[in-house]
Structure 1
Amino acid sequence: MAAQLLDRIPQLLRQATFRRFWTAQTISYLGDQVSTIALPLTAVLALNASAAEMGFLGALASLPNLLFALHVGGFVDRHGKLRLTMVLCDLGRAAVLVTVPIAYALDSLTLTHLWVVAFATGTLAMLFNVSSNSLFAALVDRKDYVQGTSLSRGSFSFSWVAGPGIGGMLVQILSAPVAIVADVLSYLGSAFLLRSVAAEEPTPEKHESKSHIRDGLRFVSRTPALRAKFLGGGLLNLFYTVYFTLFLLFIVRELKMTPGMIGVALGLGAVGALLGSFVTGWVSRRIGIGPTFLLGSVAFPGALALVPFASQDKWMAFALVIAAEFLSGMGLMLCDIAGSSIQQALTPDRFRSRVQGAYLGLINGVRTAGALIAGGLGTLIGLRPALWLAVIGGVLSCLPLLFASLARMRTLPDQAE
């Protein structure tokens, strides 16, 4: 029996170096997502933030991707020191976040303080993610990319739903500002694990900054599958950011849900994501990697329609939020694992950091606009209509995939030139 269980453990997780890297990465990702609910709930519950102020908070958290990601991709390719960079990013985020509970205890916490923290942690998270993507290629053989990508992106996607659930429960138990202490500890744990990761890092390339960035963008623009993935992903991120920026305000103020109920609902969404991570490989073998990506791109935002559909019956609303998070979590895994595997397979090693920088800059950067749009829509037309617009826009974001080879891609593609 023990031997049978051992056989089911992915081969990469039996390697101590990759296991430490993956565990540290997972812990750090969870910390990021705990912050995504602990900081907004601190603004809502401790500082009584408005929809516009919440939009500004969300915009500042994602603004670093828009401002710096392309340059960071080139910087990482040129200067290396990937593991050290990741350790410093974890320690930096811990140092910045610990100021929130300290300021709260001293009764000096302000929205401006939270805005600065959101921008600083967003910058460090972006640098961590770009470096992590390049260190992954140094640790994993090409023949294991699909398995490694599934583990790495699976933990990232899982953190999207597990982290906010954990954050909600911690807020219920400890209060929103104090819950951030758990986030600080997660970054310290990640830094400790990364110190023991030994890898032969790639030799940095010496290129001029402008040429380096331009080469990465040109590669993406001339690869049709990546171009469609980036465009569809950008639209999906835009509309999902509008949705999530207003989601907490809506379920707290209109559906009257408590932080504990929010934590339970989001935690059960993590169960859906976990199930999605298990079935993604099976689904992709049955219908193809491209159709799996397309299915997830529709299911992820489409399931969220259950939330604005909810009435003010608290327990019925609670059930609908749980169902929305569970089904959306499954869709997220199908979308992200399949899409990331396609991107890894298409991208040559020499472009890996630049393509990841382009991804963060051009895809996640739209979250800045999404958060600002959310603040305006929530103020002008109300929370429920704004959520409906976000869900409809998210579903329609799959259209670029239908006009590219992605929708017909049965197996992972060869590396693009």
Structure 2
Amino acid sequence: MTPSPARPPSTAADGGRTPWGALRRHRPFLLLCGEQAASSVGRQITALALAMLAVTRLDAGPFGASALLALTYLPGAVLSPLAGVLADRARLRTLTVTLTSLQVVVVASVPLAEALGSLALPHLYVVAALSGALTWTLSVALQAALPRVVGPEQLLTGNSALTGARTTGMIGGPALGGVLVGLVGASSALLAGGAAYAVEAALLFALPASLNRPAEPAGRRGPRLAALREGLAVVRAEPVLRRQVLAGAGFNLGSGAADALFVVYANRELALPAWQLGIVYAAFSVATVAGVLLAGRFATSVELYRATRICAVVAALAIFLVPAASLGLAFPALLAYQLVFGIAATVWAISMTTTQQLIAPHHLQGRVAGFAQAALLTTVPVGALSAGALAAWLGNVPVLTGAAAAALLAASCFWLPPHRTGTAVRPPAP
């Protein structure tokens, strides 16, 4: 099945008002925004606390820290296609509430294990893997939910607003996580992460009951294998999606390697204090706000696919600032990296997600999102584990430089000699 490239109408469905003007009074969409903010706080605190526990409390080296990151992404790479089938066929509201409630239990197991005196590195690995499986399954489900909540002419604005809501949590999340780690310890800080997930579950429970109607009616369902093939056929048949997925997967190989070494590199080689590390992470969130504000106008003016091409290269070039921090002025260099990378990566992500949602058929939104997410996540643990192993042999700076080069090479795939990439997907003017 070959879907025709989507061209949403140029007029808003709310009688001439702007898409954002309608979304501000759209209760289900506002609940999704609140969920994104709460989820972001929970993820930021959890990621920072787990990494600090592994490095400072349990003496994990570069490979150990890389394995922790890899286990966060690996379940998404394996399970995302199946999560797509589940999202298309399940009661979405019930599914999202269940996934988020399980996150509370998984995260809370760490402070419980410490209280019992049984906390060990394998426990953190299990928590990272389970939390990753829940996070990425929820991500697919929410990507499938948005086109059922807003109209096609509101998708670009909706994705920008949801990214902005995530950023609201990301700005305070790392700083809050750093403060909590300093005051009560990394393990106890995870209790705040669990509380954020509980708020997220309550917001999802308030979504309309209409989301519990499966996108794919029971009468037209075939075997799961055939359902997976149907979703894969959309990605393979549409050149725009295919090139986005291939370039994004290669980019994530390099950026995943850099992310895996970032905490160990900043903590041990650059001797960055915890408060500076928290500010560096928060700088990415501030940059994301700028990316959210730029995404709609930029993607509208240059068209979505071209916005992806430009921002991919800029984001890859920014990664070179990480190894450059070892030459001096480490704190400003890492701040600049997070700011430039944050803006470019945000516009890229919003453009790519909107393109995908515009192209995918209604009853296949989950499967298309699942296959795209699986491809993008598969290379992250590969890059993370490779970086950990190579850094123990070559050192952090050479591996970080190679990671940046790999990301740039992948992003450059967008600029290979012209070929047919389908009709340009252009959103309506804001």
Identify whether the pair has TM-score above 0.5, normalized to the shorter chain. yes
Match of 1:374 among 380, 387, 397: 387
AA of the residue aligned to 1:344? Q
**Does the aligned pair in 1 maintain the 2:170–2:282 contact within 8 Å?**
no
Aligned to 1:3: none
Aligned to 1:112: 122
Q: CA deviation at 1:402?
A: 2.2
**Does the aligned pair in 2 maintain the 1:100–1:114 contact within 8 Å?**
yes
Q: CA deviation at 1:275?
A: 1.1
Aligned to 1:226: 241
Q: CA deviation at 1:135?
A: 1.9
Q: Does 1:330 align with 2:343?
A: yes
AA of the residue aligned to 1:172? G
Aligned to 2:38: 27
Aligned to 2:112: 102
Q: CA deviation at 1:88?
A: 1.1
Aligned to 1:142: 152
Match of 2:399 among 386, 395, 402: 386
In structure 2, distance between residues paired with 1:398 and 1:158: 28
Over the residues paired in the alignment, what is the CA RMSD in angstroms?
2.4
In structure 1, distance between residues paired with 2:390 and 2:24: 45
What is the aligned length? 405
**Does the aligned pair in 2 maintain the 1:29–1:156 contact within 8 Å?**
yes
Aligned to 1:364: 377
Aligned to 1:126: 136
Q: CA 1:41–1:304 in 2, change beyond 3 Å: closer, same or farther?
A: same
In structure 2, distance between residues paired with 1:178 and 1:234: 35
Match of 2:308 among 285, 288, 293: 293
Q: CA deviation at 1:172?
A: 3.3
Match of 2:283 among 263, 268, 293: 268
In structure 2, distance between residues paired with 1:244 and 1:196: 35
SS in 1 for 2:118: coil
Q: CA deviation at 1:289?
A: 2.5
- After superposition, residues 341-360 of structure 1 pair within 5 angstroms as 341-360=354-373
- After superposition, residues 167-206 of structure 1 pair within 5 angstroms as 167-201=177-211, 202-203=213-214, 204-205=216-217, 206=221
AA of the residue aligned to 1:137? P
Q: CA deviation at 1:156?
A: 4.8
In structure 1, distance between residues paired with 2:249 and 2:298: 24
**Does the aligned pair in 1 maintain the 2:147–2:357 contact within 8 Å?**
no
Aligned to 1:398: 411
Q: CA deviation at 1:336?
A: 0.8
Q: CA deviation at 1:388?
A: 0.6
Aligned to 2:267: 252
**Does the aligned pair in 1 maintain the 2:167–2:286 contact within 8 Å?**
no
AA of the residue aligned to 1:245? A
What is the TM-score with the length of structure 1 in the denominator? Answer: 0.90
Aligned to 1:13: 24
Q: CA 1:244–1:165 in 2, change beyond 3 Å: closer, same or farther?
A: farther
Q: CA deviation at 1:410?
A: 7.2
AA of the residue aligned to 1:121? S
In structure 2, distance between residues paired with 1:300 and 1:168: 26
In structure 2, distance between residues paired with 1:103 and 1:21: 32
Match of 1:57 among 68, 73, 79: 68
In structure 1, distance between residues paired with 2:312 and 2:184: 35
AA of the residue aligned to 2:85? G
AA of the residue aligned to 1:114? L
**Does the aligned pair in 2 maintain the 1:291–1:407 contact within 8 Å?**
no
Range with greater deviation from structure 2 (257-266 or 157-166)? 157-166
- Segments of structure 2 that go 5 or more residues without pairing to the other structure are 1-16
Q: CA deviation at 1:32?
A: 2.3
- After superposition, residues 280-319 of structure 1 pair within 5 angstroms as 280-311=295-326, 313=328, 316-319=329-332
**Does the aligned pair in 2 maintain the 1:169–1:262 contact within 8 Å?**
no
Q: CA deviation at 1:168?
A: 3.4
Aligned to 2:13: none
SS in 2 for 1:14: coil
In structure 2, distance between residues paired with 1:158 and 1:385: 34
Q: CA 1:358–1:163 in 2, change beyond 3 Å: closer, same or farther?
A: farther
Aligned to 1:45: 56
Q: Render the CA deviation track for 1:231-269: whole Å, top value 9, x for unaligned.
A: 011111121110000011001000001221100111122
Q: CA deviation at 1:185?
A: 0.9
**Does the aligned pair in 1 maintain the 2:51–2:65 contact within 8 Å?**
yes
**Does the aligned pair in 2 maintain the 1:63–1:365 contact within 8 Å?**
yes
Q: CA deviation at 1:411?
A: 2.2
Q: CA deviation at 1:150?
A: 2.2
Q: Render the CA deviation track for 1:83-104: whole Å, top value 9, x for unaligned.
A: 1111111111111111112222
In structure 1, distance between residues paired with 2:20 and 2:396: 45
Q: CA 1:143–1:410 in 2, change beyond 3 Å: closer, same or farther?
A: closer
In structure 1, distance between residues paired with 2:41 and 2:330: 26
Range with greater deviation from structure 2 (10-19 or 41-50)? 10-19
Q: Render the CA deviation track for 1:319-369: whole Å, top value 9, x for unaligned.
A: 111111111111111111111111111111121000111022221122221
In structure 2, distance between residues paired with 1:184 and 1:339: 30
